[in-house]
Amino acid sequence: MQPPVVTIPRSKREREALAAAAAQFALAQQLDAEGRHDEAVIALRTASDGDHVPAMTFLAGRLLTGRGAPHDPAQGVPLLARAAQAGGADANAMMATLAGAGAGMRQDWNVALGYLQRAAQLGSERAQGQLRVLAGLIGKSDLGPEGWEQARRQVNLAAWITSPPKRVLAEQPRLRVVEGFAPALACDWLISRARILIRPATVYDPETGGPRQESARSNSAAEFDIVQADLVLMLLRERIAAATRLSTLAMEPVQVLHYAVGQQFAPHFDFMDLAVEGYARDAAVRGQRIATFLLYLNDDYEGGETTFPRIGLQHRGRKGDAFFFANVDAENRPDRLTLHAGAPPTAGEKWVLSQWIRDRAPAPMT
């Protein structure tokens, strides 16, 4: 598949329309900088009506997430598809994620790889990086149109959605380990993606169920919504589903956690304590958090174990290893033996992917 041929408007009317759309996009950026997001959306819609590809891509992303715009995936997906068809590299990369996730469209890994290949051929460095990871390629040079097509052909989808075998670490609570769960290239890729997104980590507010910062959790976290995620993450989630036998539809947005020396997550539970009002409200809407899956993205640090004080166990995986546990017992009751903590590194920095899984899927994307 070759990138589309971009035609240059020749008529005066076409040039004026393109200039007007570009001006509206610039106005939207100015309005956003001033905090006038509702007005910025209006300008973005006007620019999108003028077939301004960056405006269409940016607006679609906001509609898909509800950040700085109404949450309206039903409008966002077709708008993003339009931008991709018009030759937007970023739009094609984002469409690859949607196709892989089955978000607003039917899940199709081959369609997703087609979008990713096209984005790479159009010059998207993010898409090129993903293809290198998925195909197991090392290097940073642009492979050219034929090279990216070849890279796509090297992606082994069956291998990506299959998990290595797991072994039992404990039965009470139910803890499992999967050695060599993810390749080193994928681990390095996720760290590089997370570095630009990390913020101070939060905990649930027991009164509201919303996020809040607390001294018990001093580490940082990067959360990947459907726009910030990518095809590497989508395929890793499929592998997580294979390992846990739980649906990707019940998975929360992926987080990548970062611990610097001395940073920790004090002993806590991951399940929703239904005796606490804020947690009960959250569980009523999104379901109980029944499982926690951790993927170790590096191992060049000291300390930083995951500890389970009530059973006297601590665990630390190697780069690419995974570790997961059930937050509920065999009768689906919150398991208080799962009290656990992220111990602070004593040297180096720790990176780990965290995937929480609920007992049901949220309302479908419409």
Express each pLDDT in 294-341 by its tens digit: 999 999 999 999 999 999 999 999 999 999 999 999 999 999 999 999
Q: Helix-strand-coil percent breakdown of the chain, rounded to 5?
A: 40, 20, 40
Closest C-alpha among 280, 232, 283 to residue 254: 232
- Could you tell me the two tokens for 322? 């995974």
Q: How confident is the model at residue 1 (pLDDT cuts 50, 70, 90)?
A: very low
Which domains, and CATH codes, for the chain? Answer: 12-154 (1.25.40.10), 167-358 (2.60.120.620)
Contacts 24+ apart (CB under 8 A), 175-179: 175/308, 175/313, 175/315, 175/323, 175/324, 175/325, 176/243, 176/323, 176/324, 176/325, 177/315, 177/317, 177/321, 177/322, 177/323, 178/243, 178/321, 178/322, 178/323, 178/324, 179/317, 179/318, 179/321
Closest C-alpha among 249, 269, 288, 236 to residue 340: 269
Closest C-alpha among 161, 154, 169, 353 to residue 259: 353
- CB atoms under 10 Å from CB of 78, counted, come to 14
Specify the pLDDT at position 140: 66
Whole-angstrom CA distances from 176 to 223, 244, 356 are: 24, 9, 15
Express each pLDDT in 49-84 by its tens digit: 999 999 999 999 999 999 999 999 999 999 999 999
Specify the pLDDT at position 208: 66
Q: What is the CA radius of gyration of the chain?
A: 22
| Average of per-residue pLDDT values in the chain | 92
Cis peptide before 173 (omega within 30 of 0): yes
Q: How confident is the model at residue 10 (pLDDT cuts 50, 70, 90)?
A: low
Quickly tell me which residue has 């919504």 as its tokens: 225
Specify the pLDDT at position 256: 98
CA distance 314 to 308: 6
Q: What is the pTM of this model?
A: 0.91
DSSP 249: G
Q: How confident is the model at residue 347 (pLDDT cuts 50, 70, 90)?
A: very high
- Find the DSSP H helices in 50-181: 53-65, 73-85, 89-101, 109-121, 125-135, 144-154, 157-160
Express each pLDDT in 193-243 by its tens digit: 999 999 988 876 666 666 767 778 889 999 999 999 999 999 999 999 999
Closest C-alpha among 327, 324, 310, 314 to residue 352: 324
Mean pLDDT of 6-31: 83
Is it the case that residue 276 has pLDDT exceeding 80? yes
The residues, ordered by sequence, that sit 6+ positions from 171 with a Cβ below 8 Å of its Cβ are none
Whole-angstrom CA distances from 225 to 272, 338, 356 are: 21, 27, 14
Specify the pLDDT at position 202: 80
